[in-house]
Amino acid sequence: MNQTLKHVRYVMSENLITFGAFLLFLGFVLLAFIGPSVAPYDPLASDTAIAMQAPSLAHWFGTDQLGRDILSRIIFATRLDFGIAVAAVAVSFVLGSVFGCIAGYFGGWIDRLVGRVADTIMAFPLFVLAMGIVAALGNTVSNIIIATAIINLPFYIRVSRTEINVRRHAGFVEAARLSGNSDARILALHLFPNILPPMMVQISLNMGWAILNAAGLSFIGLGVRPPTPEWGIMVAEGATYIISGEWWVALFPGAVLMLAVFCFNLLGDGLRDIIDPRRRT
């Protein structure tokens, strides 16, 4: 445990950008967990008397067209957007890793079948495919998670399949096989831990894409339904008021969305260095 903490501290001290990204990530996680209890206003409470007020001491991010506090809505939306992203990436990571590892290890018809499924999904523009899935199933949170998981599935299948295929005849695998380990044990205990570093990078990137995908679906009206606070909905509602000068309605939720995606894009290298056993020297 002490060695792990020392390694994490070393990675953070070596790359200040990664350290900043981790701090930003922890800030978002903290906001998702305790944000609703510290939000200054009810995100659904409207007051037309204060509609479209610019940022002030009473409302730091201003109010929207219904007089709702934008800061409070952004805080509440953090839990929803992060929940959708984490659930979708977890599903796609687990399923993609299992199918990809099996395909890369055994090869043959299993490899061809899994490869064709991944190629079929990748043949579609991924956001358009997500739109079609949500439009067919209905725009609920669970269906947004399903659609986002499906479009992310090929990335994990391809990465795990390639990494396992490269390592399946390595010396440590042959040694494990000669020691009497079953194929399942070799995959789970010997091969899978060695492919985690590139998978961590993929998870980090997919988290940003998943948040952007959920916000994009909401922006075009296929995501979370109003009046639920969600970053994509807030940007869509504020976009119509930019021309008339009410810039804060779209700017602040858009900036938070950009910051979240930027955070996950920077996390990948740090996670790879922390997980990679070859870095622990």
CA gap 149, 212 in Å, rounded: 13
Amino acid making up residue 252: F
Q: Helices in 39-69 by DSSP H: which ranges?
A: none
Q: What is the CATH number of the domain that holds 104?
A: 1.10.3720.10
pTM of the model: 0.86
CA distance 99 to 156: 9
What letter would DSSP give residue 277? G
Write out the residue range of the structural domain in which residue 245 sits: 2-51+58-279
Domain count, the chain: 1
Taking only the tens of pLDDT, the chain with its 281 residues reads 566 666 666 666 666 777 788 888 888 999 888 888 888 899 988 888 888 999 999 889 999 988 999 999 999 999 999 999 999 999 999 999 999 999 999 888 999 999 999 999 999 898 999 999 999 998 889 999 999 999 999 999 999 999 898 888 888 888 888 888 888 888 888 888 888 888 888 888 888 889 999 999 988 888 888 888 999 999 988 888 888 888 999 999 999 999 998 888 888 766 766 666 555 55
Longest Cα–Cα distance of the chain, Å, equals: 77
Each residue's pLDDT tens digit, 200-229 = 888 888 888 899 999 999 888 888 888 889
pLDDT tens per residue, range 67-88: 999 999 999 999 999 999 999 9
Q: Quick check: 54 and 248 in contact, CB under 8 A?
A: yes
Contact of 85 with 211, CB cutoff 8 Å: yes
